[in-house]
Amino acid sequence: MELFDAITQRRTHRGAFRTDAISQADLDQLIQAAQWAPSPFNTQPWEFLIIREAAGKNALAELTAQSVVDQFKDSTFLDDNRHWIRLTEAEWEERGDGVLLTDHVDLPPMFRKDPSKLKPLLKHAKHLSILGHLGAGKLPAKEISELVRTSPLLILILMDSTRRPPGEGGGRWMWLGMGAAIQNLLLRATALGMGTQFVSASLERQADRERIQEIFNIPNSHEIITLLRLGYLDSIHGKSVRLPPSTVVRYENY
């Protein structure tokens, strides 16, 4: 696969994967791709915790489910979400950013045909937390935790803070290196026919991150940067949108 094709065809895959395990040869390539990313002073601050056994998957699935249930009760979180939720494909395409609601949750039948009916609800997203307290988060929580539990492969991406580069900006530069490594991994996964998804819910809260450190015996020197789920797909597909390039480029002067 051409590099540019991998870049543009990579999609966040929010559905199930094929059930076959990721081969060790392919996994080695993912890690190698990540390792060849640039990093400040060539510090290479990344480490990869590979999870293939049920125990680890179940623990992360459980934490994911609980955090999604809690997010649906969190009025600030819901209100922040509203700016980036697009109700219809037409709106999503026109705006060129954000996420399509129906890619993330299965809507109740009354909204399925015309999700734009949700607009007034979204306007007062803060109030949706009442529904959250009534248990509205349980279904999406079950769906995403099931996807985590059944993924052939999960990777916890860690940053070793002892490998911090010198200088005041060291922390920032380390994060940039982490981003480069993760993108390299995602692109290699795409080229190898895999789908990938960031699963952030269980890493939002400090207490949950600490729990994950404990469960997986991750030393305090290591920060959990993200959780990825991966698996082979029969075909790479899915839609996404981007802003027109002209809106993000400035020439010579802002």
Ligand X SMILES: Cc1cc2nc3c(=O)[nH]c(=O)nc-3n(C[C@H](O)[C@H](O)[C@H](O)COP(=O)(O)O)c2cc1C
Residue numbers at the binding site for ligand X (CB under 6 A): 11-12, 14, 99, 197-201, 240
Nearest to 228 by CA among 172, 171, 177, 190: 190
Q: How many angstroms separate the CA atoms of 223 and 218, rounded?
A: 9
- Between 39 and 71, CB nearer to ligand X: 71
Q: How far is the CB of 174 from ligand X (least distance, A)?
A: 15
What are 49's strand-pairing partners? 156
CB-based burial, 177-187: b 16+ in 10 Å, e otherwise: bbebbbebbbb
Q: Which helix (H) or strand (E) holds 188?
A: helix 170-191
Q: How many angstroms separate the CA atoms of 193 and 26, rounded?
A: 10
Q: How far is the CB of 190 from ligand X (least distance, A)?
A: 10
- Between 41 and 205, CB nearer to ligand X: 205
Q: How far is residue 94 from each of residues 17, 87, 212, 244, measured CA to CA in Å? A: 30, 12, 39, 10
Q: How far is the CB of 197 from ligand X (least distance, A)?
A: 5
- Between 11 and 41, CB nearer to ligand X: 11
Q: How far is the CB of 236 from ligand X (least distance, A)?
A: 11
- Between 154 and 201, CB nearer to ligand X: 201
What is the token pair recorded at 130? 């009442």
Q: How far is the CB of 24 from ligand X (least distance, A)?
A: 26
Distance of CA 139 to the CA centre of its chain: 19
What is the token pair recorded at 88? 């219809």
- Between 11 and 138, CB nearer to ligand X: 11
- Between 41 and 79, CB nearer to ligand X: 79
Q: How many angstroms separate the CA atoms of 231 and 15, rounded?
A: 10
Q: How far is the CB of 203 from ligand X (least distance, A)?
A: 9
